Amino acid sequence: MGAVIRMKVVKKRLQLLDVGASGPLAGMAVALPLAIAGIALSPIEEVPKGAHLILGDNLLFAGIVRLVHGPVAEGYDVFLHPIGLAAWFGFLVTALNLMPASQLDGGHIVKALVGRRHAAISRFVFLVLTVWGALGDAILVDPRLALTGALYVAGAVTLLVTRRFKKYERRILFALFLAHFAWATVVEANSVAMPWMVWSVLLFAFRLDHPPIEDEHAPLPFRRRAAGWASLALFVLTFTPMPITITGI
């Protein structure tokens, strides 16, 4: 399932890269063959009428489906075998842990590869999650959610650009999230983007910054650098913008 490995002191740039990249790459070495086997065992069936769950696509999983089954006709879909379902969740967790922010595995990798630019990248990821998580449902589901969604975005940006509320900033952001969640419950709106809003709260709680590296300018071997960039490419391939949606309601 991955882990958030928080550090207060980082001595070796090379060790930080190893900590960030080894877990996701090892996990994918298991998940990838399971995904291929699971998709091969999964039947193509007609999508039923009525309410049902749809698992979102990412580039890697969709590519495997096309490679194994070819184009899927309209009105039909892949009904995942349990092995394929486990692999899909493995891809999802890999992407979550490889987000290049805070002290997630992806954050460790970015810090090791680009040093001080980690801070700007981490904040950018946080803002993307904030905007999509807070306003995505207003765009796709119910415009009324823009009311509290915009308030959440405004609060998050304010907390980023000012240190006036430093002592209470995590509580403020969590309160704004609860207000949005409560409003979504009142208007009975389904959500496709709110989970990313949860992740923006978590990233802020984990702290967006990363502790400095004592040997920040130490060179990285080519193989380690390649492993770091391969891990970030893996994030792009496994990222699922809308992991789970409910249709037919």
Question: CB burial class (10 A; 0-12, 13-18, 19+) of residue 99?
Answer: buried
Average pLDDT over every residue of 182-209? 90
Residue 49 — pLDDT band, cuts 50, 70, 90?
confident
Q: Mean pLDDT over residues 42-58, rounded?
A: 88
DSSP per position, 171-210: HHHHHHHHHHHHHHHHTT---SSHHHHHHHHHHHHH-S--
Q: What is the mean pLDDT of residues 40-45?
A: 95
pLDDT at position 167 is 81
Q: Which of 4-13, 111-120, 184-193 has the lowest mean pLDDT?
A: 4-13
Which pTM does this prediction carry?
0.89
The CA distance from 234 to 13, in Å, is 21
Give the pLDDT of residue 93. Answer: 92
Tell me the two tokens of residue 212.
């400095």
Report which secondary-structure segment, H or E, holds 53: strand 52-55
- At 67-126, the pLDDT tens digits run 999 999 988 999 999 999 999 999 999 999 999 999 999 999 999 999 999 999 999 999
User: Do residues 202 and 181 make contact, with C-beta atoms less than 8 angstroms apart?
Assistant: no
Domain range list for the chain? 13-247
State the average pLDDT over residues 129-133. Answer: 95
Handedness of CA 94, 12, 226, 107 (dihedral sign): positive
Is residue 62 within 8 Å of residue 238, measured between CB atoms? no
Spatial CB neighbours of 190, under 8 Å, sequence gap ≥ 6: 137, 141, 246, 249
CA pair distance 183, 201, nearest whole angstrom: 17
Whole-angstrom distance, CA of residue 71 vs CA of residue 164: 54
The sign of the torsion formed by the CA atoms of 118, 122, 125, 131 equals: negative
The SS3 call for residue 154 is: helix
Q: What are phi and psi of 221, to 5 degrees?
A: -60, 150
Q: In sequence order, what DSSP letters do the residues of 12-24 get, joined into one string?
A: -HHHHHHHHHHHH
Side-chain-facing half-sphere of 10: CA atoms under 13 Å: 26
